Structure 1
Amino acid sequence: MNIYKILIYVVWAIVLSAFVGGCTVISSIKNDWNGWFGGLPSLQSLEKPEEDLSSILYYSDGEEKIGSYYRHNRTAVSYNELSQELITTLLVTEDIRFTKHAGIDLRGLLRAASGLLTLQFKGGGSTLTMQLAENLYGTSTDNQGSLYSNTKVGQVITKIKEWIIAIQLESSYTKEEILAMYLNTITYGSNAFGIKVASETFFNKLPSEITYKEAAILVSLINAPTRYNPIRNPENARAKRTEVLYNLHKYGKIDKLSYDSLVVSDFGLQFNVADQDEGPAYFKFVIRNKLMAWCDENGYDLFADGLRIYTTIDKHMQQYAKEAMDEQMDTLQYIFNHHLQGHAPWIDKDGNEILDFIDNTIKRTPNYRSLAKKYGTDSDSLDYYLNLPKKMTVFSYDGDIDTTFSLIDSLKYYKQFLQAGFMAMEPQTGHIKAWVGGIDHKYFKYDHVKQGKRQPGSTFKPFVYAAAIDLGYPPCYPVVDAPVTWVLDDPGNPTWTPQNADGKYSGEKMTIRKAMASSVNSITANIMQKISPRAAVDMAHACGIESPLAAVPSLCLGAGGDVSLYELVGAYSTFVNQGTWTEPYYITRIEDKNGVVLEDFIPKRREAISEKTAYLMLHMLKGAVEEEGGTGRGLAWSLKNNNDIGAKTGTTQNASDGWFMGVTHNLVGGAWVGGDDPNVHFRNWAMGQGARTARPIWEKFMLKVYADPLTGVEKGYFRKPSQPLNVELDCDLYNGVNTETDSLGVGIDNIEDDLENMEF
């Protein structure tokens, strides 16, 4: 017998032994005798394998992506969404016989079988389907039985498990589905999971657009995403890419000329790692809790189930809101820093620095609490680590700055920045179109649209006047600018007399429209006395303010409770929407990963005030733009021309908060500016008033919106009530009518009698 025949018999003996032994082992693994093998995935999970999929948040156009919620940043694609160049590059590199085997490659099997008999498994034989088994079920890391204590035995068991799972996958899915699943489950590094995110991260392309040049990089990353990362390790990446390109040439997919050209070409990267702080980051993070609550109620996982969440945010308006805030806050911060002249911005009501501000503020930080828990609040170690300098990157309007700061230094630095919030809403539908919660989400996580609540200052006054108008007081009702004193049930402060912003009383008789336009405190207090604080609270709640409000005299100046910008924009929208409050909302529908609608969302609505009162309040708000001394008079002429605009500024005590609310017939927007802490503010009231700090944000935003037809927002006029008004809006015609004041004598009932037959 010659040596050739002997070798044939040996090979067949190995194959037969492998077959018999393999069948025995497979049976053992399936039944998991005594917990030796760790078991296999259930048949159901094999038939329906699942991988974590990112849930995607979309702009209102339903196409552009705002961002994603994920544990692993992955978005699945189908086989038809893959370029042929990508598929070919993968197969020549990982499994050239993929289309010819049923999950196990015979050549690889013979190589692995010899290892099984000798317990000297050396790898090899892993088809794409077997690799998919590992990606889906973690065969080398999960469900390990007691025999895995021997590394060699564990490797053999793992390989057999992959054979079993691969065969099941091949029987359940087409080759195209397996290949797509494989590319969807790969980790490519740089926070990219799955081929779609990887294509976007490295090349800013869809998988359907990937060429051989780009595919060679992506396929190189499959087995070692760090080692072959073209950004971190370009030399390794170039060597591996050459190997992949050679496979394409070797199997006749590209000619020698193409190979030579591709080998020396650059990587062609357009690298951009998904950044959770880009786009409407504040919006995305604030609404996450509501989305998680919805998922809990409906049995979904926001971070793994690949939901498609469609929002009301307009891409263009969102961009313009961010630009408007960036432009204003960059300038305002420069002014703020310059006017401080080296003084600290945390000051008390008398303009003196609060000396223990930083010491008290640091105690509210997570870093302090962690160090205090470890070392104790009175230890020298706590003080040492709070003042220990270390390298860090900090925010600036000129770009990130690398510096050396201690925790105390860092707190002092960041507390000197003014913050801001902006929101715009479509009053008729409740659709929130733009939401910017702060100056930079990367460094300042706190949202100043919905999370943050502050005293509204004079932006609360329209609810006082709305309550008065609802009771019959017309916009032309005249009141004298004179001190108004409240008798309080407080022995320590028995009376309260609110002052005007300039500390003076003019003695002038003016209409309540002009008084609101000029934000005269004494006249608002006069009206509040007539209607009662409770009436103002009830009106604010009816219009959409949901935060608690104290029915106290100081509420007439907005000092009776904290409210959010989100609430104020919704409440002002009630005036534009003919008295119907529509809840500001931001999600229109949620679909599952296959596009099946899970829920359509409709905002809450309720009749809040009469359309007559609503229209009269719009007339009152227009006074800020039309009345002499109005706080909106300084708005650009191009905004006011052929356009109805209503507005109200607001500034709290010591100018801790600056507000501006602007309303048009189809868009209501609001801006807030102030320090994260109310003790951080301008050193004089005039510089920090809302007309100077917040109004420019709204103005810049509206100019950009009107200039871009893609926003769909056009100028126009407020809609009139369906029934004629019986109130005169031209105050020149109203001058002869007596009103309820000390100087003019008669009561409001006489006004209503005289105006009963006047129609608008």
Structure 2
Amino acid sequence: MTEQVKIKKRYRKIIVLLWILFLIPIFSLGTLFFMISNGSLGFMPSFEELENPRTNLATEIYTTDQQLLGKYFKENRSNVKYSDLSPYLVDALIATEDARFFEHSGIDFKSIGRVIFKTILGGKTTSGGGSTITQQLSKMLFPRQKFQSKKDIIIRKLKEWVIAIKLEKRYTKEEIITLYYNKFDFLNLAVGIKSASKVYFNTTPDSLKIEQAAMLVGMAKNPALFNPLRRPDTTLHRRNVVLNQMYKYKYITKIQYDSLKLLPLEINFQRVDHKLGVAPYFREYLRRQLTAKKPNRKNYYDIAQFNVDSLKWLRDPFYGWCNKNKKSDSSTYNIYRDGLKIYTTINYKMQVYAEQAVKEHLFNDLQIAFFKEQKNRKKAPFAWNVSQKQIDAMMNASMRRSDRYKKLLKQGLSKDSIKIIYTTVKFPMTIFSLNGEIDTLLTPMDSIRYYKYFLHAGFMSMNPHTGYVKAYVGGTNFKHFQFDHVTMGKRQVGSTFKPFLYTLAMQEGFSPCYKVPNVPVSFILPNGRTWTPRNADRTKHDGKMVTLRWGLANSVNSISA
């Protein structure tokens, strides 16, 4: 009997020990997950951060006819809704990345088991990964840091599990897919599915074809490896893998798969560059106006410009809008991150026609005529009656205004040394020409003289009844000529001002038949000098009484004075 009691006690101890061995890992794992969840083992996003994940959204500029004119961005991302996504995007993503997406709650334990037994133990690298779409989203919303040990990697992986579960609690499956597509970086300044659809196929997310959606989903595995611009063959193979997954999970038929896999990528690449596209001068003008800061006299060389900007700051709500207005957290707006929508008075078609008209008239007519006129002239592109001293002064002034000159000055080089570099050292550079860009070697001074051969123009169309600007062309090529001839160029209004002057005179009671003496009028200027406006030519009416109507019709300066 005593021996049986001993056996029972020993048996109980073994049972208790087994229970302890069984419960300790569970308790430890539970404790570990609890510590991870409350942030004891490092960063864990708060409820607010999960509800409103931080993303950099591009500011979009629209015309009156609702055409996208351009963007300001740190990341070229514009969010879309789930209803804006092509169903092919949803099907391709689920079939390729997470076939049981609608069945799990953030973690797919079947996939984890497959990774452990087939990939790790069995050595099959083609068995697929274990991360769900939600886990991948957690990585994008809260990126991994660089770790030094396997322990840190394991903890980070467990954190992703916790974040994935929290995301599943706070978002619907449809919202998770939308967040995924809005966040993913498809390279080539295409962040988010809206930008990717535009950049690679010049379309919108809801209009993507099956093969296009499959290519974009294929990039999700490794966008650097499956970059359609650099590795089209590899990307094509990956796209077909996605199509095969869609066929495997019955999103497409065998006939569709067999026909779609034979199609080429057919990329319609749209380069993203703020210097390119429609209305670049206008977009740059908007940017300067929106982001203007309160004028500080120390930052101005010209007191007149300081006064102009100070009045604009006080009277114009648009000038410095981003710094005058506050967000709910009391911070100022950032056009590169806050996803603003700017609606302008520009008409897209009129803008395109205006740019074409300026280029055609300038490049196909005036510029060619100017080249012919200057051919074989020793002083070209300067006029024949300009002295060499005047030419040297203009060239040196252009040199001092250049960015290269300012950089060399900051590096400590003397003005004489810089002048030697400008006149003797050739640099590789890409220069503008009527037939496209040219890669060449030139000295900086030669490039300055070369660019002086080109004529420039500005164009602005305004509705006279409303004052709305309908077209704005600041120049012919913003990449090479960034001076805005609409708002930066200072021009003498000349006789175009006279109709306004005569209108004012009539409002004050002077009739068109009112007579005034046609004699010179002198003005004493603030500097003490005397200025007397003169007429272009002598007439038989000089020194006589003439009507205002005659003065306006003949644009006589002495009458206007």
Q: TM-score range with shorter-chain normalisation?
A: 0.7 to 0.9
Count of aligned residue pairs for this structure pair: 496
Match of 1:217 in 2: 215
- Deviation string for 1:457-512 (max 9, x for gaps)? 333333443443344333344567x662526579996x5444444x5445477654
2:434 counterpart SS class: coil
Per-residue CA deviation, residues 569-591 of structure 1 (Å, 9 max, x unaligned), is xxxxxxxxxxxxxxxxxxxxxxx
CA distance 1:19–1:295, shift in 2 (3 Å): farther
Whole-angstrom distance in 1 between the partners of 2:23 and 2:233: 46
What's the RMSD between the two structures over aligned residues? 3.3
**Shift in CA distance, 354/470, structure 1 to aligned 2, threshold 3 Å:** farther
Counterparts of residues 40-439 of structure 1 (less than 5 Å)? 40-61=44-65, 63-110=66-113, 124-138=129-143, 140-141=144-145, 148=147, 150-276=148-274, 277-292=276-291, 293-296=320-323, 297-299=325-327, 300-330=333-363, 331-341=365-375, 342=377, 343-346=379-382, 353-378=390-415, 380=417, 383-384=420-421, 387-439=424-476
Equivalent residues in 2 for 1:3-14 (5 A)?
none
Code of the aligned partner of 1:295: C
The verdict on how the C-alpha distance between 1:367 and 1:464 changes in structure 2, with shifts beyond 3 A counting, is same
Give distance in 2, aligned partners of 1:76 and 1:356.
53
SS of the residue aligned with 1:187?
Answer: coil
Which residue number corresponds to residue 296 of structure 2? none
Mark the CA change 1:484 to 1:131 in structure 2 (over 3 Å): closer, same or farther. same
The verdict on how the C-alpha distance between 1:491 and 1:329 changes in structure 2, with shifts beyond 3 A counting, is: closer
Tell me if 1:526 matches 2:548: no
Q: Which residue matches 1:486?
A: 522
Amino acid corresponding to residue 253 of structure 1 in structure 2: Y
Residues 348 and 504 of structure 1, relative CA distance in 2, 3 Å threshold: farther
Which residue identity is paired with 2:413?
Answer: G
Q: Which residue of 1 aligns with 2:317?
A: none
What do residues 99-123 of structure 1 show as CA deviations (whole Å, max 9, x unaligned)? Answer: 1110111134447889xx99xxx99
3-state secondary structure, aligned to 2:461: strand
Say yes or no: does 1:29 pair with 2:36: yes
Look up the SS of the partner of 2:411 in the other structure: helix
How far the C-alpha of 1:164 sits from its partner, in A, is 1.2
Deviation string, structure 1 residues 57-87 (Cα, Å, up to 9, x no partner): 11112x2111112111111111111111121
1:18 and 1:113 in contact (8 A); partners too: no
Deviation at 1:220, TM superposition (A): 1.8
**SS in structure 2 at match of 1:196:** helix
8 Å Cα contact 2:226/2:235 also seen in 1: yes
Report the alpha carbon displacement of residue 163 of structure 1 after superposing the two structures with TM. Answer: 0.9
For the residue of structure 2 that corresponds to 1:391, the secondary structure is strand
- The 1:483/1:254 distance shift into structure 2, 3 A limit, reads same
| Amino acid paired to 2:414 | T
Assess if the C-alpha contact under 8 Å between 1:15 and 1:110 holds in 2: no
Counterpart amino acid of residue 181 in structure 1? L
Cα–Cα, structure 1 residues 231 and 214, in superposed 2: closer, same or farther, change >3 Å? same
Verify the 8 A CA contact 2:186 2:223 in the aligned structure 1.
yes
Matched, 1:444 2:471: no
AA aligned opposite 1:43: F
Distance 2:513 2:132 in 1: 84
> In 2, distance between residues paired with 1:490 and 1:168?
73
For structure 2, the 5+ residue unaligned runs are: 1-18, 292-319, 328-332
In 1, Cα distance between the equivalents of 2:434 and 2:521?
46
The CA distance in 1 between the partners of 2:423 and 2:113, in whole Å, is: 63
CA deviations over 1:601-622 (Å, ceiling 9, x no partner)? xxxxxxxxxxxxxxxxxxxxxx
More divergent stretch after superposition (169-178 vs 424-433): 424-433
How many angstroms apart in 1 are the aligned matches of 2:130 and 2:238?
A: 21
The 8 Å contact of residues 322 and 436 in structure 1, kept in 2 or not, is answered as: yes
Q: Is the 8 A contact 1:516 1:524 kept in 2?
A: no
Aligned to 1:193, the other structure's residue is in SS state coil
Evaluate the alpha carbon distance shift between residue 261 and residue 376 of structure 1 in structure 2; reply closer, same or farther with a 3 A threshold. same
Q: What secondary structure, in the 3-state scheme, does the structure 2 residue paired with 1:434 have? A: strand
1:460 equivalent to 2:459? Answer no
Per-residue displacement from partner, 1:714-753 (whole Å, max 9, x unpaired)?
xxxxxxxxxxxxxxxxxxxxxxxxxxxxxxxxxxxxxxxx
TM-aligned CA distance change 1:427 to 1:113, over 3 Å: same
Q: CA deviation at 1:389?
A: 2.8
Provide the rounded CA distance (Å) in 2 between the counterparts of 1:484 and 1:346.
35
* Identity of matched residues, %: 38
2-structure distance, mates of 1:411, 1:432:
33
Report the CA distance shift for 1:133/1:204 in structure 2 as closer, same or farther (over 3 A).
same
Indicate conservation of the 8 Å contact 2:534/2:557, yes or no.
no
Hey, what's the Cα distance between the residues in 2 that align with 1:94 and 1:387?
A: 59
- SS of alignment partner, residue 363 of structure 1: helix
- Do the aligned partners of 1:248 and 1:254 also contact (CA within 8 Å) in 2? yes
Q: Alpha-carbon deviation of 1:131?
A: 0.9
Give 1:21 deviation, angstroms: 4.2
Q: CA deviation at 1:47?
A: 1.9
Q: Answer yes or no: is the 8 Å Cα contact 2:139–2:160 preserved in 1.
A: yes
Matches within 5 A, 1:491-570: 496-501=531-536, 504-505=538-539, 507=541, 511-519=547-555, 523-528=556-561
Moved more, 324-333 or 182-191: 324-333
Tell me, what secondary structure is at the counterpart of 1:99? coil
**Is the partner of 2:457 in helix, strand or coil?**
strand
Deviation at 1:255, TM superposition (A): 3.4
Question: TM-score, length-normalised on structure 1?
Answer: 0.60
Paired with 2:503 and 2:384, the residues of 1 have a C-alpha distance of 34
Partner of 1:636: none
TM-score normalised to the size of structure 2?
Answer: 0.79
Q: Compute the displacement of 1:421 (Å).
A: 1.6
Distance 1:198 1:181 in 2: 15
- Structure 1 residue 361: Cα displacement: 1.4
Q: 1:485 to 1:166 in 2, by over 3 A?
A: same
Task: For residue 246 of structure 1, report the CA deviation from its aligned partner.
Answer: 2.1
Please report how far the alpha carbon of residue 305 of structure 1 lies from its aligned counterpart in structure 2 after TM superposition. Answer: 2.3
User: Cα offset for 1:174?
Assistant: 0.4
CA distance in structure 2 between the partners assigned to 1:253 and 1:490 by the alignment:
82
